Amino acid sequence: MDSATLDLLRVRLTELLGEHRAGRDAPLAQRLATLGWEEVLADDATTATRLLFEARGATLSDADALGPLLARVVADAASRPDLAGATVVIPASLDPRQCSAAIAGGKLRVEGVVLSEPAEGATLVVPVAWMDGHRRLAILRRGAGWSGDRLSGMDETLGVRLRGGAGEADVDWIDEPEARSIWEAATTAARWAVAAELAALGGAVILQAVEYTGQRKQYGRAIGTFQALQHRVAAAYASLVGAAEVTAEASRSGRAWDALVAKALAGKATENACTQAQQCYGAIGFTWEHPFHHYLRRSYVLDRLFGDWRTLEAEIGAALAVRTEVPKIGAI
Amino acid sequence: MRPRPEAADSRELSPRGYGQRLAEFLSSDAKVAPFVSYRPPDFESGAHHLTGLQALLFDEGWSRLGWPEQVGGLGGDPRFRAAAALRVRTRSTVERLAREETLGPEVSIDKLLLVDAETAIWDSIRQLYGPGFDLDPGLNWIREEFLFSRAAPIYGGSQEIQRSLVAQRVLGMPREP
C-alpha cells in the first residue's frame, strides 16, 4: 500500500471504530466490508490488520478485531477454511500458555474469554491441556446450556467469560504437533496485534497529555513549559515509538520471538505513558469526570492479553541468558 | 497552607480510587505560612498541628508499611529495598518530631521515598496476584487500593514539587531564571 492509501485507510478505520458500539451496531466485519476490507486484506493483510488494531487502541473501541484475526490465523495454520468464522476461546487467565478447558469425567469443560459472544451453535476452537502435558485444540459447537457473562475487573468492556461443556463424542480434535504450531501462530498474531493496539493507545494518551499541559496553568504559565513535565512526556513518547517500530517489524516477520518482544515493549511503554500522563493531569486524572481512567484500565487488561510485559520480559531474559548471540528482530 | 476563609472554595471530587479521599481546593489571594513553620505535634494535649505533608507521612507512610511482609517473598527485591529506605527514614523523622525539632524542606525526601515504595510495592502486588488481579470480580477492593496508589506521586505535593524543593531548598541549586 502506498502512503496515501495508508493514510486514507487509517482515517476511515479511526472514524469507523470511533463511533462503533458493540451490541448496537452490526458486527465489525460487516461494517468493514463497506470499506472494501476483503480487497485491502488481499492486498496487504498484515499492514491492514495492524492499522485496524492501532485504530482500536487510539479510539478505545469495543469492536471485536481480535476474534476475527484469531479465527483467520487458526484457519490458515490448520488449512481448515471452515474455521475462518469460528470463535477462538482465549484461556480464562488471558495467558496463552495456560488452557481454557480440561477433560473431566468424559466431558470437556470450557471456561475462557472471548471478545464477542458466539451464538448458540457457533463453532468454537479451544486449547485443551492433555494429561501427558500435550496441548490439543478442541473444535466443538456452543451448546444451549452455555453461559456468557460480561467480564468484570479493570475493564468491563473487554469481553465475555464463556462457560460450558460438551460430551467427548461432540468434540473434534486437532492433535500435537499440529495443535502446537497452530496455537503458536495464533499467539504470535495476537501478540503483535495487541502490541499495535497498546502502542496506539499509549500514543493517544501522550497526545492528550500534551494538549492538557499546554492549557493548564500553574504559577502563571502553562505547566507544559516546565522541563520536568516535558522530559517525562518526551521519554514516554520515545519508548512508544520504539515499541511501535518493533511491533511493525514483528507483524511483517510473523516470528514468535519478534511478537513476544514487541508485546513486552508495547506493554511496558504504554504503562509508562499512562503513568507519565497521569502525573501531568494531577488530581483531575483520578476522577470519574476525566476520561483518562478508561485508557488506564484498558491498558492494564490489554497488557494481560496473551502475556503481560513483566512476565514476557522475564521470558526474554531467560532466553537471552542461554544464547551466545543477540537474536535478530525481523530482518535486522 | 491556611487560606483565608473567604478566598477558599472547595468541592469533593469523585475519586476513581479508594474511598472519598480527594477534594479539589481552589483558593486565590491566600496567605501561605512560610515553609519553615512546620510545628511538631503536641502529643500531650492531643492537638496535632500537622501540616498536610506531616499528616501524610503519618497516615500514608506508617499505615502502609505493613505491606512488604504481607506480600512476602520480596526480600531480595529492589521494591523491598525501597520500602526499607522509607521505613527507616520515616522513623528518623518521627523521632525528630518527638524531640520537638523543627522540620525543614528535607521532609520532601520522605515523600519521595514514600512514592518510590508505594508505587513499586503495589506493582509487585498486582504482579504476584497474576491476571486475576485485573479480572477477578472478588478483587474489586484491592484494585481500588492499587489505583489509589497511583496518586502517591501527586497528593501532598507532586513529585515535581518535591524534587524542586530538594534541589533548591536542600541542595541549594539555583532556581530557574
Q: Who wins on pLDDT, A166 or A22?
A: A166
Residue B12 contacts A where some CB pair is shorter than 8 Å: no
Confidence of residue B2 (pLDDT cuts 50, 70, 90): very low
pLDDT number for residue B30: 53
Average pLDDT, chain B: 70
pLDDT computed for residue A30 by the predictor? 87
Rounded distance, CA A28 to CA A49, Å?
A: 13
Q: What pLDDT score does A27 carry?
A: 85
A87/A84 Cα distance (integer angstroms): 9
pLDDT tier, A219 (very low <50, low <70, confident <90, very high otherwise)? confident
Summarize pLDDT for A53-111 with one digit per residue, the tens: 999 999 999 999 999 999 999 999 999 999 999 999 999 999 999 888 888 888 999 99
A132: pLDDT confidence band, cut at 50, 70 and 90? low
Output the average pLDDT for chain A. Answer: 94
Specify the pLDDT at position B106: 93
Instruction: Give me the percent of chain B exceeding a pLDDT of 90.
Output: 31
Residue B39 pLDDT level (bands cut at 50, 70, 90): very low
Predicted confidence at residue B44, as pLDDT, reads: 41
Are B131 and A94 a contacting pair at CB < 8 A? yes
Closest residue, chain A, to B160 (C-alpha): A228
Quickly list DSSP for B90-158.
HHHHHHHHHTTPPP-TTHHHHHHHHHHHHHHHHHHHHHHHTTHHHH-GGGHHHHHHHHHHTTTTTTTS-
pLDDT above 90 for B28 = no
What's residue B70's pLDDT?
A: 43
pLDDT range class, residue B82, cuts 50, 70, 90: confident
Q: Residues 114-143, chain A: which have Cβ within 8 Å of B?
A: none
Tell me the shortest Cα–Cα distance from A97 to chain B, in angstroms: 13
The interface predicted TM-score (ipTM) is: 0.80
Paired residues of A108 in beta bridges: A103, A166
Tens of pLDDT, residue by residue over A95-129, are: 999 888 888 888 999 999 999 999 999 999 999 98
Nearest to A287 among B13, B135, B158 (CB): B13
* pLDDT band, residue B34 (cuts 50/70/90): very low
Q: Which of A45, A269, A22 is nearest to A159 (CA)?
A: A22
Is A301 within 8 Å of chain B by CB?
A: yes
**DSSP-based three-state secondary structure for A102:** strand
Looking at chain A, which residue has its C-alpha nearest residue B153? A279
pLDDT at residue A102, as a whole number: 86
Specify the amino acid at residue A277: A
